[in-house]
């Protein structure tokens, strides 16, 4: 049997690399070595047929030197403790790269939401938030959407938590529906952030975006918006896949019409004017930018050799394994790392939380302007760390920026 994939170990190795490139205080490294807390819970759910099923869930709180823990909750059959720990660590570094006053956390529930009825999903969601309620709160740990979770589920979370506390606690969760204190622009925020980072990188590395060809893996909340915003910039979306199949058209696909088709039929498959493309074919397409916007570990030692894109922009968390990273580097493919590329989502989550604290709400334009400024600054900070050092790629540079900020906060708080 093959060894299970060691997600947390992979993030730890990246921290090691960055620590070596910047001569990080070893005490800071030691404080970041293990998550501060991981809560493992069992969630009993009464199913529609009268049976009881007990689901497993986790909330991992990695580090909170910069502020309350922050990070999404995913519902996935393969979510496990090690993966949740790694994703929580990515949140620590992601929040630090964009300069948010948050630590990192992540939650996961082992389930396949497609097999659950609406009522079962609601009872599971409420059960999970009850189980982790003792360790979350608007000043403690603030969950948000992630893979297979959305605004509707966030609405159940905030309701259940508020009932437990006996008062409305809108700031305990972000990614809520607008009517419950959600922010304008949260839905498209990750995709919009991906677009800003690509725009800045194109200026820094000299890539013409008008007519640039783009392949997107995943057409959910991240991939579909990234495709739309890049299309608006003049890029050509030549291929898109989802879990059911994919579509290709060398002249470009209109992502707005594709979204309507997907909403109507449940998949991007069979979109008129396109030919089918498989996931593996998409990853190997000749294009300027490949955007993995689905799950982790999609580019591996096995398939990275066939990547023909000039850039890989990680809209998903952890889509490139370290083996793939090495191969891409040797091939001269520029990789824009997840903790920078997809930080737009948590940034607008932060805006939502700020608006909840004030109970005063911003327009979509205000949200977008503030997001743009944060993403541009984050890119410039990472680019500077990259340009100043030899033998450092953008991923390690992003960790250097994050670790500098974490180390400064640890020092200021007297932890080291």
- Contact residues for ligand GLU, defined by CB under 6 A: 70-72, 94, 144, 146, 174-175, 317, 342, 345-346, 349
For ligand GLU, the closer of residues 127 and 296 by Cβ is 296
Is the Cβ of residue 274 or residue 347 nearer to ligand GLU in the bound state? 347
Task: Tell the smallest beta-carbon distance from residue 175 to ligand GLU (Å).
Answer: 6
Judged by CB, which is closer to ligand GLU: 98, or 201?
Answer: 98
Closest CA to 31 of 321, 398, 413: 413
**Nearest distance, CB of residue 217 and ligand GLU, angstroms:** 16
Residue 106 among the catalytic residues: yes
Tokens of 257: 């019409």
Min dist CB 186 to ligand GLU, Å, is 8
Which residue among 17, 70, 94, 106 is the active-site one?
Answer: 106
C-alpha to C-alpha distance for 396 and 22, rounded to whole angstroms: 10
Q: How far is the CB of 136 from ligand GLU (least distance, A)?
A: 12
Q: Which of 187, 181, 186, 147 is nearest to 162 (CA)?
A: 181
CA separation, residue 104 to residues 86, 88, 302 (Å):
10, 5, 31
CB 287 within 8 Å of CB 213? yes
Q: Quickly list DSSP for 34-74.
A: S-SEEEEEEEEEE-TTS-EEEEEEEEEEEE-SSSSEEEEEE
- Taking the least distance from each CB to ligand GLU, the nearer of 94 and 228 is 94
Task: Give the separation between CA 359 and CA 52, rounded to whole angstroms.
Answer: 40
Residue 171: phi and psi, rounded to 5, are -85, 10
Q: Which is closer to ligand GLU, CB of 89 or CB of 285?
A: 89
Q: What is the DSSP letter of 183?
A: P
E strands, 182-336, in order:
213-217, 236-242, 245-248, 275-276, 289-292, 311-313, 334-336
Q: Which residue is nearest to ligand GLU (CB)?
A: 72
Whole-number minimum distance, CB 82 to ligand GLU, in Å?
A: 17
Nearest approach, Cβ of residue 90 and ligand GLU (Å): 7
* Chain mean position to CA 359: 26
Closest to ligand GLU by CB, 147 or 258: 147
d(CA 135, CA 107): 12
Residues with catalytic roles? 106
């Amino acid at each position: 049997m093959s060894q299970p994939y060691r997600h947390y170990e992979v993030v730890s190795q990246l921290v090691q690399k960055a620590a070596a490139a910047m001569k990080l205080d070893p005490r800071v490294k030691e404080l970041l070595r293990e998550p501060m807390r991981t809560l493992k819970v069992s969630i009993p759910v009464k199913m529609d047929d009268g049976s009881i099923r007990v689901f497993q869930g986790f909330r991992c709180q990695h580090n909170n030197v910069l502020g309350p823990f922050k990070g999404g909750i995913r519902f996935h059959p393969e979510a496990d403790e090690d993966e949740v720990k790694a994703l929580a660590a990515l949140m620590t570094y992601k929040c630090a790269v964009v300069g948010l006053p948050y630590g990192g956390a992540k939650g996961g529930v082992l389930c396949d939401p497609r097999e659950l009825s609406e009522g079962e999903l609601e009872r599971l969601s409420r059960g999970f938030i009850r189980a982790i309620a003792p360790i979350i709160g608007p000043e403690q740990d603030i969950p948000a959407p992630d893979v297979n979770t959305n605004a509707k589920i966030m609405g159940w979370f905030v309701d259940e938590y508020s009932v437990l506390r006996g008062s409305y606690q809108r700031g305990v969760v972000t990614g809520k529906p607008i009517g419950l204190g959600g922010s304008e622009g949260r839905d498209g925020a990750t995709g919009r952030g991906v677009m800003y980072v690509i725009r800045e990188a194109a200026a820094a590395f000299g890539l013409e975006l008008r007519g640039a060809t783009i392949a997107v893996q995943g057409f959910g909340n991240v991939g579909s918006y990234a495709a739309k915003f890049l299309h608006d910039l003049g890029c050509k979306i030549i291929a898109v896949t989802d879990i059911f199949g994919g579509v290709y058209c060398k002249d470009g696909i209109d992502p707005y019409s594709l979204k309507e088709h997907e909403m109507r039929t449940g998949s991007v498959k069979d979109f008129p004017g396109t030919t089918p493309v498989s996931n593996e074919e998409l990853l190997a397409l000749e294009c300027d930018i490949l955007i993995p916007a689905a799950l982790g570990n999609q580019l591996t030692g096995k398939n990275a050799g066939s990547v023909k894109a000039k850039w890989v922009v990680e809209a998903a968390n952890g889509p490139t394994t370290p083996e793939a990273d090495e191969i891409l580097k040797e091939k001269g493919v520029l990789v824009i790392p997840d903790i920078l590329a997809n930080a737009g989502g948590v940034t607008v989550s932060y805006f939502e939380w700020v608006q909840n604290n004030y109970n005063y709400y911003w327009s979509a334009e205000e949200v977008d302007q503030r997001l743009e400024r944060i993403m541009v600054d984050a890119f410039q900070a990472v680019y500077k760390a990259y340009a100043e050092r030899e033998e450092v790629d953008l991923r390690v540079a992003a960790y250097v920026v994050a670790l500098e900020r974490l180390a400064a906060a640890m020092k200021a708080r007297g932890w080291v």
